[in-house]
A and B are shown apart, each in its own frame.
Chain A
Amino acid sequence: MVRAALVTATSMALTGAVVAHAYLLKHQFYPTVVYLTKSSPSMAVLYIQAFVLVFLLGKIMRKVFFGQLRAAEMEHLIERSWYAVTETCLAFTVFRDDFSPRFVALFTLLLFLKCFHWLAEDRVDFMERSPNISWVFHLRVLSLLGLLAVMDFLFVNHACHSIITRGASVQLVFGFEYAILLTMILTTFIKYVLHTVDLQSENPWDNKAVYMLYTELFTGFIKVLLYIAFMTIMIKVHTFPLFAIRPMYLAMRQFKKAVTDAIMSRRAIRNMNTLYPDATPEDLQASDNVCIICREEMVTGAKKLPCNHIFHSSCLRSWFQRQQTCPTCRMDVLRASNNNQAQAPAPAPAPAAPANAPAAPAPNVAPGMLPGFPPGVFPFWGPFPAVPPPAAAAPPAAPAAADAPPSSTDTTQAAGTSQPTSSAADAATSSAAAAAPGSAIPGFPFSFPPPPFPAAPWLPMPPPPPFVSSMPPPPPSLSRLTEEELRELEAEGRRGLEARLQCLQNIHTLLDAAMLNIHHYLSTVATLAPPRPEGGAAEAGGANREAASAGAESPATERDSSTSDPVGGATVSSQPADSTSSASDAERKENWDEGAADDENGEPSAAELRRRRLRKLETSPSSPTSPSPPPDN
């Protein structure tokens, strides 16, 4: 302070001395002025004096418009001034060609006005912190804002005019600088209005924060646009404007922050309105009725979080803008609300499954996914009429198993809600397993009808499906699970599905292999058998029909197997039956063929006869030569 006064006094004295000296030399006004402007040392003194005068003017204006500056304001001002000075020096380097006293004066003026803009901004921000705002404050802020706005506007106007009439020059920089200052004034003014309105009203103004946010967003956008335009024009006309990088970066960062804030705020408001219930008067009475964020009583507009903590909705909203946790217990509210959402659809499929259940056995088709398959293709999936007695003997198991397929198809259709449904299916099967421990393998998700015949030892049974053990136990309650747990459960369900598909694929491969074997067998038989005339084959068919009339049972099974063969050997469970029956089928054909041949042409060659006999001995030593029905299975 003392130093500033000393500098001022010295400068004054020096100026006085220089002027007096010049006047004493020249004795007249005009020569004195000429002398002063010609003499470099006196001009230096005068320039310094000019700066001192500007400084003094600033002080006076500050006194008029702000009174005493607060420490924070002062600190802020000095910090920003340093940056501004360095940037101005950088700007001088860009415009060194038209460097002149006038140019320096213009930059000084810009800096001077900038300082007042910053101060005005700080002052308006201070409104929110000050307990009592006097009318003097309003008067000062309003007059200052008006004055600055007019000055900015005039300078922008002047810059535009000069650019249009005289082409691009330094005025470009000034034009943009003042335009940006103008947006700053606009922001400050809107904030001032918002604060004033807030001060006038008795109740807290809930939406003020939102309005502030959108003001920031809007002016930030304008600023960014201005800077981008400035950059492009400067690069085209002059050079790269190094001095504008920092403010441009700051403006962009601010704008980005405003955008993020606006998004977060919108999300918070939406969550607020949709997810959390209003606190009822009973809730308020049960708690101590004070919003712990603002320490005020809650009368209306209180919200209750899933963790039962109650806050003002406006307080909560501004907190959620920063962080999505309960202020008191730090519970993640978004996760909690997700859990609620996951819980909601969970009960839905449960009633749906029984509704589907009666329909499932009726069409006699594995429901949903693969409707084109004939019955018995997927023995794992629910009951069908051909299920042997053990499953039928356990009636509770059948409906429960019938539940399973629809819900499992649900699982594939709605991946999002897969867990609840598959767990429902799980629960159903576990109850089925409990009801009929003999018929269903415990823990196996679907009731598994035991194979209707002793498993043929030469045919490899598919290994037990891998998902038997990986199926999780049904969770106690989905609502209490965390996000990770739910996700894991979902993944578990998905793994189960994949395993099931894998299992089906294995079955398919096995069936293909079986078919190949059968074809191979048939072809070997065909090569062994002598080539027969066409009539013989027709006869064979006739004989077949005769045999059908003779033996009631075996042709039925035979035809059954021959119909199911083209479909791909049916299922694993019926596979052995098919292969054996087809084997015996071929054998029988042989026999009948033989019989028919004997009947028809009576005299086969001797070699032929011997071969036939040999084969007969080989294949069925026990079976008689007559076309009697072969042992069933």
Chain B
Amino acid sequence: MAGTALKRLMAEYKHDDPISPSVCSPGPANEENFFEWEALIMGPEDTCFEGGVFPAILSFPSDYPLSPPKMRFTCDMFHPNIYPDGRVCISILHAPGDDPMGYESSAERWSPVQSVEKILLSVVSMLAEPNDESGANVDASKMWREDREQFYKLAQKIVRKSLGL
């Protein structure tokens, strides 16, 4: 019998739930290492990220699901809640103990009942509705708040880049 974390990840991988159409094929990058998953996130429709396909890596800790995984976009992103290096900053990925921005209520934090699927859905909704109160990328937050036009332009650029155009 393997570890709890591994079993849970395998169960999540096998579990073929109809996942949201915005998310594409989350799964381990290779079958040897179940603790690194790849996922493709589609830019939600009717937003400035529409049409983009953004690859991301989920890395799970060894005590998953007690601790949340980390998520990192491997492409260029410009978004108030994504650090310039691609790390995603949303409350569902924060364990109740840590609060990088110091304002999240524990009700929206990580809990073992969350899953990869829910994380990805949260990320999609985060792409659609940035939260400029907790800026992981301060430039993006500022631009989102003050110069929406410019933000849309940059987002479109990123979408085109993600499609290899």
Q: Identify B66's interface contact among A131, A292, A322, CB under 8 A.
A: A322
User: Which candidate, B48-56, B105-113, B133-141, B142-150, is the interface stretch facing chain A?
Assistant: B105-113
Determine whether the beta carbon of B106 is less than 8 Å from that of A330. Answer: yes
Q: Does B8 contact A (CB under 8 A)?
A: yes
Residues on the A chain within 8 Å of B112, using CB: 292-293, 315, 319, 327
Task: Kindly provide the distance from the CB of A236 to the nearest chain B CB, expressed in whole angstroms.
Answer: 40
Q: Whole-angstrom distance between the alpha carbons of A327 and B107 in the complex?
A: 10
Q: Whole-angstrom distance between the alpha carbons of A323 and B106 in the complex?
A: 11
Q: Does A282 contact B (CB under 8 A)?
A: no
Instruction: Please provide the chain B residues from 97 to 120 with a CB less than 8 Å away from any CB of chain A in the complex.
Output: 97, 106-107, 111-113
Determine whether the beta carbon of B96 is less than 8 Å from that of A323. Answer: yes
Instruction: Please provide the chain A residues from 288 to 340 with a CB less than 8 Å away from any CB of chain B in the complex.
Output: 292-296, 315, 318-319, 322-323, 325, 327-328, 330
Instruction: Contacts A131-B10, A198-B1, A328-B113 given; indicate if A293 touches B62 (C-beta within 8 A).
Output: no
Instruction: Contacts A199-B2, A296-B11, A319-B112 given; indicate if A129 touches B34 (C-beta within 8 A).
Output: yes
Mask, B1-25, CB within 8 Å of A = 1, is 1111111101110010000000000
Determine whether the beta carbon of B8 is less than 8 Å from that of A318. Answer: no
Determine whether the beta carbon of A296 is less than 8 Å from that of B32. Answer: no
Determine whether the beta carbon of A129 is less than 8 Å from that of B33. Answer: yes
Instruction: Contacts A201-B1, A293-B113 given; indicate if A131 touches B8 (C-beta within 8 A).
Output: no
Determine whether the beta carbon of A129 is less than 8 Å from that of B66. Answer: no
Task: Kindly provide the distance from the CB of B76 to the nearest chain A CB, expressed in whole angstroms.
Answer: 22
Q: Does B78 contact A (CB under 8 A)?
A: no
Taking CB as reference atom, which chain A residue is nearest B59? A72
Determine whether the beta carbon of A128 is less than 8 Å from that of B2. Answer: yes
Instruction: Please provide the chain B residues from 68 to 113 with a CB less than 8 Å away from any CB of chain A in the complex.
Output: 95-97, 106-107, 111-113
Q: Does B151 contact A (CB under 8 A)?
A: no
Residues on the A chain within 8 Å of B65, using CB: 293-294
Residues of A within 8 A of B (CB-CB), count: 29
Q: Does A76 contact B (CB under 8 A)?
A: no
Residues on the A chain within 8 Å of B12, using CB: 295
Determine whether the beta carbon of A128 is less than 8 Å from that of B62. Answer: yes
Residues on the A chain within 8 Å of B35, using CB: 129
Residues on the B chain within 8 Å of A129, using CB: 3, 5-6, 33-35, 62
Q: Whole-angstrom distance between the alpha carbons of A590 and B106 in the complex?
A: 84
Q: Whole-angstrom distance between the alpha carbons of A409 and B4 in the complex?
A: 55
Taking CB as reference atom, which chain B residue is nearest A125? B62
User: Which candidate, A168-176, A202-210, A492-500, A503-511, is the interface stretch facing chain B?
Assistant: A202-210
Task: Kindly provide the distance from the CB of B41 to the nearest chain A CB, expressed in whole angstroms.
Answer: 23
Residues on the B chain within 8 Å of A128, using CB: 2-3, 5-6, 62
Residues on the A chain within 8 Å of B31, using CB: 131
Q: Whole-angstrom distance between the alpha carbons of A93 and B75 in the complex?
A: 46
Among B2, B6, B35, the one with the most A-chain Cβ atoms within 10 Å of its Cβ is B2
Determine whether the beta carbon of A295 is less than 8 Å from that of B8. Answer: yes
Residues on the B chain within 8 Å of A204, using CB: 1, 4, 7
Determine whether the beta carbon of A130 is less than 8 Å from that of B113. Answer: no
Task: Kindly provide the distance from the CB of B4 to the nearest chain A CB, expressed in whole angstroms.
Answer: 6
Residues on the A chain within 8 Å of B3, using CB: 127-129, 195, 198
Taking CB as reference atom, which chain B residue is nearest A205? B1
Q: Does A70 contact B (CB under 8 A)?
A: yes
Residues on the B chain within 8 Å of A131, using CB: 2, 6, 10, 31-32, 34
Task: Kindly provide the distance from the CB of A202 to the nearest chain B CB, expressed in whole angstroms.
Answer: 6
Mask, A89-130, CB within 8 Å of B = 1, is 000000000000000000000000000000000000101111
Q: Identify A130's interface contact among B6, B15, B63, CB under 8 A.
A: B6
Q: Whole-angstrom distance between the alpha carbons of A319 and B112 in the complex?
A: 8
Residues on the B chain within 8 Å of A330, using CB: 106-107, 111
Determine whether the beta carbon of B66 is less than 8 Å from that of A319. Answer: yes
Instruction: Contacts A125-B62, A198-B1 given; indicate if A296 touches B7 (C-beta within 8 A).
Output: yes
Residues on the B chain within 8 Å of A295, using CB: 7-8, 11-12, 15
Q: Whole-angstrom distance between the alpha carbons of A328 and B32 in the complex?
A: 31
Taking CB as reference atom, which chain B residue is nearest A204? B1
Instruction: Contacts A319-B112, A330-B111 given; indicate if A294 touches B10 (C-beta within 8 A).
Output: no
Task: Kindly provide the distance from the CB of B105 to the nearest chain A CB, expressed in whole angstroms.
Answer: 10
Residues on the A chain within 8 Å of B62, using CB: 125, 128-129
Q: Whole-angstrom distance between the alpha carbons of A315 and B113 in the complex?
A: 11
Q: Whole-angstrom distance between the alpha carbons of A324 and B96 in the complex?
A: 11
Residues on the B chain within 8 Å of A325, using CB: 96, 106, 111
Taking CB as reference atom, which chain B residue is nearest A195? B3
Taking CB as reference atom, which chain A residue is nearest B96? A323
Q: Whole-angstrom distance between the alpha carbons of A293 and B62 in the complex?
A: 14
Residues on the A chain within 8 Å of B15, using CB: 295
Q: Please, could you name 15 A-B residue pairs with CB atoms under 8 Å apart, sorted by A? A: A129-B6, A129-B34, A131-B2, A131-B6, A131-B10, A195-B3, A198-B1, A198-B3, A203-B1, A293-B8, A294-B4, A294-B65, A295-B8, A295-B12, A325-B111
B-contacting residues of A (Cβ < 8 Å)?
A: 70, 125, 127-131, 195, 198-199, 201-205, 292-296, 315, 318-319, 322-323, 325, 327-328, 330
State the 7 A-B residue pairs at the shortest beta-carbon distance, nearest first.
A128-B3, A295-B11, A293-B112, A292-B113, A327-B112, A327-B111, A327-B113
A-contacting residues of B (Cβ < 8 Å)?
A: 1-8, 10-12, 15, 31-35, 62-63, 65-66, 95-97, 106-107, 111-113
Can you add 16 more A-B contacts, CB < 8 Å, to A125-B62, A129-B3? A128-B62, A130-B2, A130-B6, A131-B10, A202-B1, A203-B1, A204-B7, A293-B65, A293-B112, A294-B11, A295-B8, A296-B11, A315-B112, A319-B112, A322-B97, A330-B107
